[in-house]
Amino acid sequence: MRNKLQGQLYTLFLLLIFFVSCNQSDKNDSFTASVNETEETNEELPLSELNLPEGFEISIYARVNNARSMVMGENNVLFVGSRTAEKVYAVEDKDGDGVGETVHVIDEDLWMPNGVAYLDGDLYVAEVNRILKYTDIMNNLDSSPEPKVVFDEYPKEQHHGWKYIAFGPDGKLYVPVGAPCNICKSDEPIFASITRMNPDGSNMEIYAEGVRNTVGFTWHPDTKEMYFTDNGRDNLGDNYPPCELNHAPRKGMHFGYPYCHGGEILDPEYGDQRPCSDFIYPAMNLGPHVAPLGLCIYSGNSFPEKYNGKVLIAEHGSWNRSKKIGYRISMVELIDGKGVSYEPFIDGWLNDDQQSVWGRPVDVIQISDGSILISDDYSGTIYKVTYKK
């Protein structure tokens, strides 16, 4: 009853905010950021400003301009997408010393090639409207192979058009299609969804609906069920709505957009069309405008046991909030698919007092030695986080 009343009060409050802010253009969403990505990748970084739990250490694994989504291939080769740099990279740790000392440009002049995935020796790359495959990539790191177009029927709308991609436990390639706006109801059902297809591009179908803009998902190492982040809408004030961590164990679930946000906040434009009870409640509501992107569920044997099963989330950070928030790696504890705690794991890329930023986490992945890698498109860096026993 209390949650329902809070939701109603939130909705009334947001209606007031909406009428004040309705003249603001949706075109600014996620495009004109209050902080800009740096073009340089050779400046010294103040790693000592980062706050980690006791016993953890962070170091620079590689410098890669505009580093975004990551996937590990074979033989210590890390593939990295970008957005504004328009390039896809391969980072090699040839001597196995835990540092990626060689960076190859696999391809360039691509259209926001944010997403990368790896399967059976082939590299998959997501542009805005199509999926590319670079066959036998491990033997072609220096030759800039010509890609094969696997699928080219995604929308060409650039707004929320950059894509995260990954292969699921079912062997299918999962590809999101963001909403082409801040808040709208499209006549095309493919918008605001997560799709999936066979590796050859066949049998594309919608897996989840009502997903405004996810740029990160993963599968639980034990249950094999999907978890994904979603970025909340703008122009409802600094503190509403929350961003989300969602749990999608099966096909056909609807997560609320554009009608309901955070499981209980009716949208001032579309909330009168469907109640929040129609939709799946988030596994955990995150901070407002923190921009959660990539995530992993830790399952290695390098960190202390209490970290097993914890969700580590890269929060890219707010772009238009009056006081910046996010710019960190957060951690969520799950019990039976629901979040029961939400706290920082690493922060310090944002100086809260000065409101200055020197890094923006994008993706976080676990690698074979149990450490994690974090990409940062603002400073052009990939960090490695280890635990010293």
Domain membership flag for residue 28? no
| Residue 36 belongs to a domain | no
Instruction: Tell me whether residue 50 is in a domain.
Output: no
Please indicate, yes or no, if residue 53 is contained in any of the structural domains: no
Please state the separation of Cα 377 from the chain's center in Å.
Answer: 12
Query: pLDDT grade, residue 41 (50/70/90)?
Result: low
Q: How confident is the model at residue 145 (pLDDT cuts 50, 70, 90)?
A: confident
What amino acid is encoded at 212 in this protein?
R
Report the predicted TM-score, pTM, of the whole model to 2 decimal places.
Answer: 0.91
According to DSSP, residue 6 is labeled H
Q: What is the mean pLDDT of residues 264-274?
A: 98
CA–CA gap between residue 14 and residue 235 (Å, rounded): 9
Overall average pLDDT of the 292-298 stretch: 98
Looking at residue 161, its pLDDT comes to: 98
Measured in degrees and rounded to the nearest 5, phi and psi for residue 356 equal -110, 150
Specify if 31 maps to a domain. Answer: no
184/38 Cα distance (integer angstroms): 32
**How high is the pLDDT of residue 389?**
77
* Spatial distance between the Cα atoms of 98 and 384, rounded to a whole number of angstroms: 8
In contact, 47 and 57? CB cutoff 8 Å: no
Number of domains the chain is built from: 1
- Average of per-residue pLDDT across 313-335: 98
The confidence band for 231, taking pLDDT boundaries of 50, 70 and 90, is very high
Q: pLDDT band at residue 14, thresholds of 50, 70 and 90?
A: very low
**CATH of residue 268:** 2.120.10.30
Q: Give domain status of residue 20, yes or no.
A: no
State the Cα–Cα distance between residues 262 and 250, nearest whole angstrom.
20
Q: Is the pLDDT of residue 29 over 60?
A: no
- pLDDT of 30 over the 90 cut: no
**254 in helix, strand or coil?**
strand
User: pLDDT at residue 23 above 50?
Assistant: no
Half-sphere exposure at residue 159, Cβ-oriented, CA atoms within 13 angstroms: 14
pLDDT above 90 (res 72): yes
Predicted confidence (pLDDT) at residue 184 exceeds the cutoff of 60: yes
- Domain for residue 204, yes or no? yes
Q: Which domain holds residue 374?
A: 66-387
**Cα–Cα distance for residue pair 162/215, rounded to 1 Å:** 8
- Residue 6 falls within a domain, yes or no? no
